[in-house]
């Protein structure tokens, strides 16, 4: 069973949508590429400059699928803060607990500490 770790951060220059993958160069922003080091998944929607954005950095969380995804596969973040099946060169930050049928589906993933590049 995965333990859950949530941390609180300040939101950057763009509002965040619930269950987007985020990173933090200084303040929280949506991930911008498959190779970004995702900090985790924001647990609620937050306005620009909010100082109490709760981010799940480890353990189970819902996420927004970027496309159809199988159950039990490694995932990485996308440019839209969604998750997709990781391929060679992507930074993996978790795996799926259920399948997604299409882009925009809400699925459960498990976020694991320590992103790794998929070889």
| pLDDT tens string 34-91 | 888 899 999 999 999 888 899 999 999 999 999 999 999 999 999 899 999 999 888 8
Residues 47 and 76 in one domain: no
Residues 56 and 73 in one domain: no
Residues 78 and 32 in one domain: no
User: Residue 3: which residues within 8 A CB-CB, separation 6 or more?
Assistant: 58, 59
- Structure confidence at residue 119 (pLDDT): 67
Distance of CA 12 to the CA centre of its chain: 16
Residues 13 and 29 in one domain: yes
Torsion of CA 68, 94, 64, 41, to 10 degrees: -170
Residues 48 and 73 in one domain: no
Residue 118 reports pLDDT greater than 80: no
Residues 73 and 45 in one domain: no
Distance CA(40)–CA(65), nearest Å, equals: 14
| pLDDT tens string 18-27 | 999 999 878 8
User: Residue 58: which residues within 8 A CB-CB, separation 6 or more?
Assistant: 2, 3, 4, 5, 40, 111, 112, 113
Residues 50 and 74 in one domain: no
Residues 39 and 27 in one domain: yes
> Both tokens of residue 42?
């924001």
Residue that terminates a domain, selected from 40, 60, 80: 60
**Which residue range is the domain that position 103 belongs to?**
62-117
Residues 66 and 53 in one domain: no
* Count of structural domains within the chain: 2
49: how many CB neighbours lie within 10 A of its CB?
12
Residue that terminates a domain, selected from 35, 60, 85: 60
Residues 38 and 55 in one domain: yes
């Amino acid at each position: 069973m995965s333990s859950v770790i949530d941390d609180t951060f300040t939101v950057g220059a763009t509002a965040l949508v619930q269950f987007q993958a985020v990173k933090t160069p200084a303040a929280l922003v949506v991930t911008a590429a498959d190779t970004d080091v995702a900090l985790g998944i924001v647990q609620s929607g937050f306005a620009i400059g909010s100082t109490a954005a709760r981010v799940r950095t480890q353990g189970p969380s819902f996420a927004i699928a970027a496309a159809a995804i199988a159950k039990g596969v490694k995932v990485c973040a996308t440019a839209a803060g969604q998750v997709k099946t990781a391929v060679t060169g992507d930074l993996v930050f978790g795996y799926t607990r259920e399948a997604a049928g299409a882009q925009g589906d809400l699925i459960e993933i498990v976020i694991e500490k320590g992103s790794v590049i998929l070889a």
